[in-house]
Structure 1
Amino acid sequence: MSSSSMPPSILLNTGVQMPLLGLGTYKLRGAEDVYRAVDAALAAGYRAFDSAAVYRNEADLGRALKELLPKHGLIREDVFITSKLGPKDQGEKAMEGALHSLSQLDLGYIDLYLIHWPGTQGLLVSDQRNPGNRAQSWATLEELHAQGKLKAIGVSNYTPAHMRELMKSCKIPPAVLQVEFHPRFCQTELRSVCEEYGVCFQAYSSLGRAELFTDPVVMEVAKNCERTPAQVLLCWAVQQGVPVLPKSSSPDRIKDNSRIFDFTLSGTDMDRLSALDCGHKYCWDPSEVA
């Protein structure tokens, strides 16, 4: 990435910098909506974009970036693109799935490619074929990483047990683990596992599906900081070195969500927010996947 456009970032174990702020594109569908969101994000300083096969927007994201990067004075190397292997392609279909993502995005390579889910579509969570399928998928990602098509590889929605299993068998350690993370779900054990193995812990659902906006503590901290609840929640994560991926289709909200690096939460406010941890998940639960 050119230094002129480098946003605040974190160093991955691959030696590459990944922006601390990225645009999540879950539920962002249709060429027009994707284009508008990417345009607003690039203008606001976003340099990372997170997609997945199951989002069905890889092709639209790739086209939007190819059209918009020149408009914003940027080149391919200035942006960090993440996508993910769908659960239906877990195991023997992993190569087909990964190559399809590469083809859909059509950006030459993918900066970070994740196994989206530890289970396999069509199998029960308790099915003992799940571990073997995960291992086969990981070997495929390692192969594509060696070819330079996937610059970094990682996983999403893995539990501490899934992480330890992977670390025992992998040739290339995961660069990133992307999971749900917000003040009500602080993932202390999982963060410790990532720290132990040198894996970047990345957050999704940092805003708790907006339910956290009305939490009294979040509202009070936001009022005292003269910031929005969303900005406070995102700042709480990045101040701990945790990259975030807020998603929005609104250009104004996309811009607002980028304003998280020009203020600092006090130690007291950080502690108050962290004390909200109650193990509450807003998203799917991978803990039962064998």
Structure 2
Amino acid sequence: MLPSTKLLSGHQMPLVGLGTFKITGYENVFKTIEAALVAGYRSFDTASVYRNEIDIGRALKELLPKFHLQRQDIFITSKLGPAEQGKSKASKALQASLQRLDCGYLDLYLIHWPGAHKLKLDDRMHKKLRAESWAEMENAFRQGEVKTLGVSNYIPSHLEELLSTCSVKPSVLQVEYHPHLIQTDIKSICDSHHIHLQAYSSLGTSNPDNVLIKDPKVMEISQLIHKSPAQVLLRWAVQQNIGVLPKSTNPEHIAENIDVFSFSLSEEHMAILSQLDHKKHYCWDPAQVR
């Protein structure tokens, strides 16, 4: 069994999960999830805004029996979208995700973004809507519809605000985190509150000019230890107990991305990678959301 981490909620979450952003169309989703299950993935990350929940749910229903797996053998994450924030809207959005995934319950449900759709970044309503969303998520948690609650793209001020008012503490914070964006303030607050830090975009971007995976230091370490640059970047995270969600539709890459527990990086190589911080967001920067 692949390494996992025990969350504040008491549940175990695999350290490596499959990211599914931009993976759409049933045939494509089915082939990707099948390749992931073959490779050993048991955690799948989606969101309402990805518009692939129906296809993921259907694929898992068909594939789990083939692999002699049951619902409780896999970990499913989904997220509340920016347009779904607020009282009554959040609970309806969760029910819609559950219906689309047809999975009975969610292992993890996250607020996807600290801001609400169509509001200016400095609008005071963001704070109110975040609080209302979390209250409805807590109700779903108490009813067993969600096993674990968390947030995504929160900066320390958003997280401290939540921790000061919540009844159920977040177990997971999912943010962009890699050697070019080492958010030490976020990791520090997560560590102090025993919140699991889960990284997205661990490999940079899918653009051909991806400068992270082509970073000369990453390439150099890759060649020295005979592992791919992707494996080097993913290992750097999981060696710090940071979860990762690599995305690929290529079966070879899918298998390669989960093969990060058969080797370790030396202290020297970890230090080299940890000195590459450019404070560079390759995705979204939530710092301006009030």
- Which position in structure 1 is the counterpart of 2:129? 133
Q: Which one of 60, 66, 72 corresponds to residue 71 of structure 1?
A: 66
* Deviation of the 1:252 alpha carbon: 1.4
1:82 maps to 2:56 = no
Aligned to 1:201: 197
Tell me the TM-score normalized by structure 2.
0.97
Give the drift of 1:18: 0.3
2:55 partner amino acid: D
Percent of aligned positions that are identical: 54
Q: Secondary structure at the match of 2:212?
A: helix
Which residue pairs with 1:3 in the alignment? none
1:34 aligns with 2:46: no
Deviation string 1:171-192 (CA, Å, 9 cap, x unpaired) is 0000100000000111100000
Q: In structure 2, the residue corresponding to 1:138 is in which secondary structure?
A: helix
Matched, 1:149 2:140: no
- Structure 1 segment 38-49 matched on structure 2, within 5 A: 38-49=33-44
Structure 1 residues 1-290: aligned runs within 5 Å = 6-92=1-87, 93-209=89-205, 210-290=210-290
Q: Scaled by the length of structure 1, what TM-score is found?
A: 0.97
The AA in structure 1 aligned to 2:273 is L
Structure 1 position 212, deviation (Å): 1.3
Distance 2:161 2:32 in 1: 38
What is the RMSD of the two structures over their aligned residues, measured on CA atoms? 0.7
- The alpha-carbon deviation at position 238 of structure 1 amounts to 0.2
| Ranges in structure 1 where 5+ consecutive residues have no aligned partner | 1-5
In structure 1, distance between residues paired with 2:168 and 2:256: 37
**Aligned-partner SS, 1:114:** strand
Q: Which amino acid aligns with 2:61?
A: K
Q: Residues of 1 paired with 2:148 and 2:264: CA distance?
A: 30
DSSP-derived class of the 2:188 partner: helix
Distance, in Å, in 2 between the alignment partners of 1:187 and 1:177 is 12
2: CA distance, partners of 1:250 / 1:30: 15
Query: What are the Cα deviations for residues 179-206 of structure 1, in whole angstroms up to 9, with x where unaligned?
Result: 0000011110000001111111100000
Deviation, structure 1 residue 32: 0.5
Q: In the comparison of the two structures, how many residue pairs are matched?
A: 285
- SS at 2:174's partner residue? strand
**Distance in 1 separating the partners of 2:58 and 2:2:** 23
Aligned equivalents of 1:199 and 1:255: distance in 2? 28
